[in-house]
Amino acid sequence: MSEELNSLIKEYAQHPLKNFPMKDATVSRHEGNFICWDEITVYLKIQDNKIEDYSFDGNCSTITLAASSFLAEFILWVSLDQVLSWNYTTMLDHWFEVSPRRKRAAVIAIMWARNAIHEYLKDGKEDEFSDLLDD
């Protein structure tokens, strides 16, 4: 990992954005990752089929904390359909890259946001890591 990327991850982990339980969320999703024991809840406020607001909280690793915080930079006012298409490549497109071993931690917030959207849409779908990772 480059020193620049390492600094980015440290900054987002030490000073996370949107790291709080949202009181008036439209939908939320709490899950855990049994591999690294991360636990987070993602909160979404939805208006006109777009993400009006986003937050998260929980007990998670540095990478998950940084990635969940980083997601706050580009998830607002994005359509639900667009978020449902996001995966690890989305993080790469926004310059957030981790080692192959930490990819799950990098997409946890996206996956739980996608699953919260599925719950909101009542479409009966639930995404798994294999839906977001290309390995």
Classify domain 3-18+29-132 by CATH number. Answer: 3.90.1010.10
Yes or no: say if 96 and 106 are a contact pair by the CB < 8 Å rule: yes
Which of 115, 118, 124 lies closest to 40, judged by CA? 115
Distances (CA, A) of 74 to 2, 82, 90, 95, 106: 23, 12, 10, 12, 15
Express each pLDDT in 110-132 by its tens digit.
999 999 999 999 999 999 989 99
Does pTM surpass 0.85?
yes
d(C-alpha 33, C-alpha 106), whole Å = 12
Express each pLDDT in 16-56 by its tens digit.
999 999 999 999 999 876 666 788 999 999 999 999 999 99
Structure token pair of residue 51: 């993400």
In this predicted structure, the answer to whether residue 86 has a pLDDT above a threshold of 60 is: yes
Look at residue 125 in the predicted model and tell me its pLDDT: 97
Task: Give the mean pLDDT of the chain.
Answer: 91
pLDDT range class, residue 68, cuts 50, 70, 90: very high
d(C-alpha 48, C-alpha 40), whole Å = 26
pLDDT range class, residue 105, cuts 50, 70, 90: confident
| Average pLDDT of the segment spanning 61-67 | 92
d(C-alpha 126, C-alpha 135), whole Å = 19
